[in-house]
Chain A
Amino acid sequence: MRSGRRPSDGSHFGNQNLGTRLKTEAISWKLNSGVIELALHRDPCNEIGSLTLSELEQFAAELPDLERDAHALIIFSEIKAGFCAGADLRELYRRSQEMEKAQAASGVRDFLERIHAVFNRIDASPLTTIAAVHGVTFGGGFELALCCDLIIADKLARFCFPELRLGLIPGFGGIPRLKRDLGNAVVRDLLLTGRSINATKAGQVGLVSQVAGEGEALRAARFTAAQTGKFDRHTAATAKQFIKPIPRDELRREIEIFCELFARPAVRAGLRKFVESTDKQPYLP
């Protein structure tokens, strides 16, 4: 619930402690001392399905108000297993089974449009945005982290685009955003092998800004957020907009490619295989 309190001098930055907080089923957020902290906490590993999406949309709707009193946004997970394992494939499979093919395709497109709207909004935030990640940061979870200006990873974090295993490509903006940050060879490696890379490697290729000790990513992110609060907000936002363009045309193209691929029988087979798997190591490519 919003506290409604504001410092008596009307300031928006500095030592304010509004303590604004909202908790929903999959996510919660609070604004404290100029830093918005968005926590993901949906078992088993923050899989992004319709529930999380609708709550992220709620957060995105609140963002303009929150941004007025903030200089940074940190996104992190409270789930031990990791930051986010990606899209909720079980929900996707179940819904595709329940619907006629055309209806399922339309549903997928609608989902993608909505996810892109939220992720684009986070990407375009005038705040300095930081993903503090640990453990599994796969698929849609990786894509959420890529919306942020900085990724700070705990040394056990792993990054992966497993989508090709399902006959798909990343659909939440991953390829355009990864291309924005990394060399094409690294993007091809991740995409075409579906392998995961650790935080050390991610740091070496420039994906991750800092590698923190086990369990220390959020702490490091908070220090970094405090540091960015020292600078003029308008200047920082202007610099960010200059150096971090949002690849809107490619993002739209990604949705089209994803929807074309989703129509193929191989995708339903891939989803079914994932959902029904008794493999001891389902997270391996």
Chain B
Amino acid sequence: MPTQEQTLDEMLTLAAAHFKVSRDKLNPDEDFFKALGIDSLQTLDLLTKLENHFHVELPDYELQGVTDFRTLSQKIQSRL
């Protein structure tokens, strides 16, 4: 099973590729709405990408109040 850091790293790479931003500019503790320039509907796209990539199902109500990458990766990790 991947470590928390590995999951975070994969997640940042995936998010950068999908939303076409530079991977180097993404900070784990940063607000991903700002960092990726996305709105709430696009957050659902991100969720779907993560679910498909990690082969998990993450109920979207668990994302209430989650705005940084690190916390999001912890949610993913908890489902692996």
Contacts and interface: CB of A to CB of B under 8 A. Distances in A.
Nearest to B45: A156
A249 B52 CA distance: 39
Interface string A44-82: 010000000000000000000000000000000000011
6 contacts: A155-B48, A197-B57, A198-B51, A283-B43, A284-B43, A284-B61
A37 B77 CA distance: 42
A82 B44 CA distance: 11
Interface string A104-140: 0000000000000000000000000000000110000
Contacts of A282: 40
Interface string A251-285: 00000000000000000000000000001111111
A82 B41 contact: yes
B60 interface: yes
Contact of A200 (B45, B51, B59): B51
Contact of B33 (A136, A193, A201, A280): A280
A196 interface: yes
Shortest Cβ-Cβ A-B pairs, 7 listed: A285-B61, A198-B48, A281-B40, A195-B59, A283-B40, A81-B41, A156-B48
B78 interface: no
A194 interface: yes
Which bucket holds chain A's interface residue count? 20 to 34
Interface string B43-73: 1110111011000010111011001000000
Interface of A: 45, 81-82, 135-136, 155-156, 158, 193-201, 279-285
B67 A135 contact: no
A282 B61 CA distance: 11
B60 A285 contact: yes
A199 B48 CA distance: 8
A281 B63 contact: yes
Contacts of A280: 33, 40, 67
B41 A201 contact: no
Given A194-B61, A196-B60, A283 B33 contact: no
The B contact surface, by secondary structure, is helix
A210 B60 CA distance: 23
Given A193-B59, A280-B33, A280-B40, A158 B64 contact: no
A242 to B, nearest CB: 35
B44 A196 contact: yes
Contact of A136 (B41, B64, B67): B41
A196 B64 CA distance: 13
B52 A155 contact: yes
Given A155-B52, A193-B61, A195-B60, A283 B45 contact: no
A284 B41 contact: no
Contacts of B40: 279-284
A158 B63 CA distance: 15
A281 B43 contact: yes
Contacts of A283: 40-41, 43-44
Nearest to B31: A280
B63 A284 contact: yes
A194 B64 CA distance: 13
Contacts of B44: 135-136, 158, 196, 283
A50 to B, nearest CB: 23
A134 to B, nearest CB: 10
